[in-house]
Amino acid sequence: MIEEVSAGGIVVFGNTILLLRKFNGDYVLPKGRVEAFESLNQAAIREVFEESGARVTIIKYLGKISYEFMRNSNDGQKIRKIVHWYLMKSRDMNCKPQKNEGFIAAHFVPFERALSMARYDDERRVIKKAIEEISYHGYHLT
């Protein structure tokens, strides 16, 4: 089994969260693979910018999730993916989906709507955790 490490962000502006829409219609959070020369938080900031164009600062590390899947290839390679998530604040709502990364839209959507739109259970859980952190600590997010 191959292990891949990624990092990404729950990007917040005001009471909205950034979601990216893939070509197949799924809404996901921005994330991507950590490069050899990067720290986890550097990778998260870079991936958010590459996929969405959003300029962000990290507020807090939220934790990691992991899952396994089969790579779409003839060798049947099993991958264990570990994703480290950060709560992030966007400087503004300017964003542009990167088509070469597979995204056709980028939207800041209200918290509760983001929970219902997110495609994957693990991403919904990390969105919920981010909303709870924001509610508890009262971060200023604009």
> Residue type at 103?
F
Tokens of 142: 């604009």
* Chain centroid offset of residue 56 CA: 12
What gap in Å lies between CA 87 and CA 51, rounded to an integer? 16
What gap in Å lies between CA 43 and CA 35, rounded to an integer? 7
CATH architecture, domain defined by 2-137: Alpha-Beta Complex (3.90)
* Residue 58, helix vs strand vs coil: strand
Q: Where are the domains of the chain?
A: 2-137
Q: pTM score, two decimals?
A: 0.91
* Residues 112-121: tens digit of each pLDDT: 999 999 999 9
* Residues 10-44: tens digit of each pLDDT: 999 999 999 999 999 999 999 999 999 999 999 99
